[in-house]
Amino acid sequence: MNDQTRGGLAPADDAWALATDGPLEASGHGGARIGALVDHHPAFTGNGCFAVRVPAAGNGFAETPVRTQFHVAGLYTGRDGGWSRKASLPAWSTLDVSDGSGSFNAAFTSPTGEHGTAPGSGEQLIGGDWAPLTRPRAGAARGIERYRQCLDLRTGVITTEARWTSPAGRVTDVRYEVFTDRSRPTVAVVSVTVTPHWEGELLVTDALDERGASHTRTVERGAGDGRIWAVVEAEGSGVTAALVSVVHGPDSPGGPGYEGPRPAQDGTASQTISVHTSPGRPLTFTKYVSVVTSHTADGPLSTARAHADEAARAGHTQLAEDNRRAWQHEWEGDIVIRGDATMQRRVRASKFYLLTSAHEDSPWSPSPCGLSSDGYNGHVFWDTETWIWPSLLAQHPHIARGALDYRVARLDAARAAAAEGGHRGARFPWESGLTGDEDTPGWVPFGHLEQHVSADVALAFWQYWLATGDHAWLRTAGLPVLSAVADFWADRVTTDADGRCHINGVIPPDEYAVGPHDDSVYTNVAARDALRFAARAAEALGVSADPRWAETADRIVVPFDEVLGIHPEFTGYDGQTIKQADVVMLAYPWENPQPPEVTRADLEYYAPRTDKEGPSMTDSVHSIVLAELGDAEAAFEYTRRSVEPFVRPPFEQFAEVRAGGAFTFLTGHGGFLQEFLYGYSGLRWRADRVVLAPILPGSLDGITLRRLRWQGRVFDVDIRHDGTTVRLHTGEPLPVETAGTLRHVAAGGEVMVATRTSTS
């Protein structure tokens, strides 16, 4: 393979590179064909504001094995039919190459693995037009060889290279590079370098392929002046998104045999460059794409055009460097695993995927699949606050705040939901989309009954206050949400003759318990603590708290079975199988004050009763709780269980359950990361200090948490078997509590604390 002008792929032993040499299999006639696509889980990248699923071909749209989707934050449909949905954009990454007999992309999508498009289409994209499938001449070697695709976690760049033999038997080396620019939230780049080993006409087609769109209608499309564009509107909501692409050909477009870009004649958003090739001469073509929605601009099309033009003027080299620097800043918050290269790769991949769907400039909350797909309709659940968000907060509070801003902006909708149910305060929806109204499909009971989500939101707001100490935010955003949630719970309880408060008619986190049930212990503890958060927030601001908050919190029943020594999941629970972690979560993240013996008893009772085919994050909680109990070896066994059955090759993406489910499942990635950020470190936020209780499994040599952030301090925690070092890089002295002892770390200094010895 020719060493292309953009640089070669990352070496095979690069710890930051995820790469595959498949999916290929021998064709039996001198070439290779695409095979086993059902086992290939395509790459995904994003800048936190919009994203792209990149198929095996390295660009464009593919229906299988996983439909490529192109999402931008906030593009939701209306609620016609009962609930909103996340809409997908046209496929903006298409930059296909052709020799006139067939196209590179078609070689990856034929039913036979030869040349075509999606099964049954019988067409291929050549010169901007959908042309009938061209069959190869008899005896020609054809297909794909020397294939490799790589995702660089440091930069989010996906690079694909292959040697392609066309239906006419012409051999061409092709190399694609795709990235969304983290430094420019509306900009992406697609580049292809083509090295033909033949002489003739090469066609390169830039398109906005509407086969990739879903739940939208195209309002406008066109091509001209070196640009293509499309404006789509999400069904029923009026939210629009504009896409503009500018394509640049080789550096000397005025030379002989160069034509373009010329727009297609049928009104589609496509344009083609034609170049006369010489054998062995590499040619590079780059498209600069901008995606802008009506959420951020009154004129999305004109804004997108300006951003695409600016990107094109800056050029590939500048954009790549700016993107690298932006990602480098985020990767200052690294998690280093020593002694297990596979675990290290999966930890970094998990962190990368969270960052692809969250950005400090985006006031949107990531759904369980983030910007990778429309899984769960792209709705926001407790997944964000409970599983995804804490793994952002520890090292990226500036990014984590966006998810809270999303809730603040929808507080009025939560108030309306509470009032509709006859209650004061605010009740956040189980599924939230564009407006913050309840977006749970009406045929499932969770929308009105899985009310613990409001307390989960409150926990995230409280954790943000503890981690940042931001009084201005607490006054303007934090307390209004916390007090509204507290008002809801104070009004929602039912008081019995003895003055005890019950919460009746709910569904706990265990969704097999569809109920409704009374006194879900998780819901009761979460509601109790949400009431106390509001009171403490008011105290921190020196304002009066509603006395009902503390009074109600103190009277809420926390069910406990004295005979079994455990918390029953709800009144009447008799040991049936549960879907996912529920009662065990009282210990983490809720830190319910209970003896370690009760925490262990809860875990030992519920772990074997948890469905092994349930969602991936359950074992993450089990691991964290075992680490807290001092059993590092059992914790690490659960760590393996929390990742190995769920992660999919070759790009280390989580599926929701062992058999598949939602993909790429950010909820699983977030829970997995919490094991390292909060489990083995024992990190807990406090208003006046951080608490650590480090422990290390015997199979690891060390865990280093870099650039943790607490109230203006930036610090590292380096866990080794012979001790744990806390280093403070910037900020006021850092108060650290370990094993009941409080120490202060000076800026530029460090302290050594004991690493706990495992009880197993």
Q: What is the pLDDT of residues 356-384, one digit of tens each?
A: 999 999 999 999 999 999 999 999 999 99
Q: How far is CA 101 from CA 117, 167, 197, in A?
A: 14, 6, 15
| Candidate list 177, 511, 569, 652, residue with the active-site label | 511
Say if residues 179 and 51 touch (Cβ distance below 8 Å). Answer: no
Task: Report the mean per-residue pLDDT for the chain.
Answer: 91
Active site residue 511: yes
Are 171 and 34 spatial neighbours (Cβ–Cβ below 8 Å)? Answer: no
pLDDT exceeds cutoff 60 at 662:
yes
> Minimal CA–CA distance to 355: which of 402, 308, 416?
402
Q: Homologous superfamily of 343-409+645-760 in CATH?
A: Maltose phosphorylase, domain 3 (2.60.420.10)
Residue whose entry in the numeric block shows the structure tokens 């901008």: 290
Distance of alpha carbon 129 from alpha carbon 207, whole angstroms = 10
CA 669 to chain centre: 8
**3-state secondary structure at position 514:** coil
Q: What is the pLDDT of residue 506?
A: 98
The β-bridge partners of 243 are 230, 291
When mean pLDDT is compared across 119-123, 435-439, 454-458, 746-750, the lowest value belongs to 119-123
If we measure between CA atoms, which residue out of 414, 437, 427, 403 comes closest to residue 73? 403
Q: Virtual CA dihedral for 193, 194, 195, 200, nearest 10 degrees?
A: -150
Please tell me which residue, 150 or 39, carries the higher pLDDT value: 150
Give the C-alpha separation, 410 to 668, whole Å: 26
* pLDDT per position as a tens digit, 631-649: 999 999 999 999 999 999 9
Q: How many residues does the chain have?
A: 760
Domain with CATH 1.50.10.10 in the chain: 423-611
Looking at the whole model, is its pTM more than 0.85? yes
CATH 2.60.420.10 domain range(s) in the chain:
343-409+645-760
Distance CA 240, CA 236 (A): 11
Q: What is the per-residue pLDDT across 671-713, written as a single tens digit (0 to 9) for each?
A: 999 999 999 999 999 999 999 999 999 999 999 999 999 999 9
| pLDDT above 70: residue 347 | yes
Instruction: Using DSSP, state whether 653 is helix, strand or coil.
Output: strand
Long-range contacts of 640-643 (CB under 8 A, 24+ apart): 642/616, 642/617, 642/618, 642/668, 642/671, 642/672, 642/675, 643/343, 643/346, 643/616, 643/672
Q: What CA–CA distances, in Å, run from 384 to 28, 242, 379, 403, 407?
A: 49, 28, 10, 8, 11
pLDDT, tens digit (0-9, with 9 covering 90-100), for 222-268: 998 889 999 999 999 999 999 999 999 986 544 555 566 777 666 67
In angstroms, the CA 434 to CA 299 distance is 20
pLDDT digits (tens, 9 = 90+) for 284-297: 999 999 999 999 99
User: Quick one: pLDDT band at residue 720, thresholds 50, 70, 90?
Assistant: very high
Confidence of residue 24 (pLDDT cuts 50, 70, 90): low
What are the pLDDT digits (tens) for 578-587?
999 999 999 9
The pLDDT score that the predictor gives to residue 121 is 33
Q: Which CATH class is domain 17-330?
A: mainly beta
Q: What is the tens place of the pLDDT at every residue in 198-223? A: 999 999 999 999 999 999 999 999 99
- Asked whether the predicted pLDDT for residue 129 surpasses 50, the reply is no
Cα torsion angle, 47, 53, 56, 57, sign:
negative
Least Cα distance to 229 among 295, 316, 294, 292 occurs for 292
Q: How confident is the model at residue 13 (pLDDT cuts 50, 70, 90)?
A: low
Cα torsion for 615, 447, 513, 381, to the nearest 10°?
A: 20
Query: Contact, 294 vs 305, CB < 8 A?
Result: no
Counting residues of the chain whose pLDDT is more than 90, the rounded percentage is 84
Q: By C-alpha distance, which of 395, 394, 391 is closest to 331? A: 395
pLDDT (tens digit per residue) in 416-425: 999 999 999 9
Q: pLDDT higher for 42 or 109?
A: 42
Dist. CA 690–CA 309, nearest whole Å: 47
pLDDT confidence of residue 684: 98
- Mean pLDDT value across residues 493-502: 97
Question: In this predicted structure, what is the pLDDT of residue 261?
Answer: 72
Residue 224: Cβ-neighbour burial (10 angstroms; 0-12, 13-18, 19+)? exposed
| Nearest Cα residue to 357 out of 690, 665, 572, 126 | 665
CA distance 108 to 117: 8
Q: What is the mean pLDDT of residues 32-47?
A: 69
The pLDDT value given to residue 123: 43
The predicted structure's pLDDT at residue 133: 36
Q: Are residues 308 and 289 in contact, defined by beta-carbon separation less than 8 angstroms?
A: yes
The fold of the 423-611 domain, in CATH, is Glycosyltransferase (1.50.10)
pLDDT of residue 38: 45
Residue reference for tokens 């709780």: 625
Cβ neighbour number for residue 512 with a 10 Å cutoff: 16
Our CA angle for 405, 409, 415, nearest 5°, is 125
pLDDT digits (tens, 9 = 90+) for 441-466: 888 889 999 999 999 999 999 999 99
Q: Are residues 680 and 667 in contact, defined by beta-carbon separation less than 8 angstroms?
A: no
Residue-wise pLDDT tens digits, 58-79 = 999 998 888 999 999 999 999 8
- Between residues 180 and 136, which one has the greater pLDDT? 180
Domain with CATH 2.70.98.40 in the chain: 17-330
Distance CA 562, CA 560 (A): 6
Q: How many CB atoms lie within 10 A of CB 741?
A: 9
